[in-house]
Amino acid sequence: MRRIGSFAFVCAVMLVSGTVIHSLAQDNTTNLMPLPYNPYPPGILPPNLNSEIARVQREIRFIEGEAISEWQALPPANYQGNPSTIQGSGYQAVEVLGKLMNFDLNISPFKNQACASCHMPYAGFSGPIPSVNLTMIAYPGTFHYRAGKRTA
């Protein structure tokens, strides 16, 4: 009986100490993470950049969902002629393919940005964030602080 009690005590101590050590290790790793390098002087990047990027990504996810629905609703391709061409729904298929590619967030290296993030159709295939259009030379890419030297 005494062995069972001491075994339970040792298990309890190990469980508590493991939890404490794990939480300390998490705190140390988060404190050691360097802040991302921001090469721009204060005032260049708009203060609402993160919320605007999130808004654009929500729009992109919605439009991509519409494109996936359109793609699934397409009839099977009807190839005819020599050389073969798609008859009937060929134009629609190409249009939906372009929409799927433009609004695919997985197309970027970090799988976090679509082409439409900088080339939104409702903005004339230019940038969809007005505050960035007024302040920066170019849009932040998939790696946010590495904007190029040209506009979208």
Domain that holds residue 16: 1-33
Name every residue whose Cβ is closer than 8 Å to that of residue 48 and which is 6 or more positions away in sequence.
131
Position 70 in a domain: yes
Residue 108: CB atoms within 10 A of its CB come to 15
Residues 66 and 107 in one domain: yes
Residues 29 and 60 in one domain: no
Residue 31 has pLDDT above 60, yes or no: no
Total domain count, the chain: 2
Residues 86 and 118 in one domain: yes
* Mean pLDDT rounded to a whole number for the chain: 77
Residue given tokens 């998939």 in the structure block: 142
CB 147 within 8 A of CB 139: yes
Residue 20 has pLDDT above 60, yes or no: no
Reported pTM: 0.65
Residues 62 and 1 in one domain: no
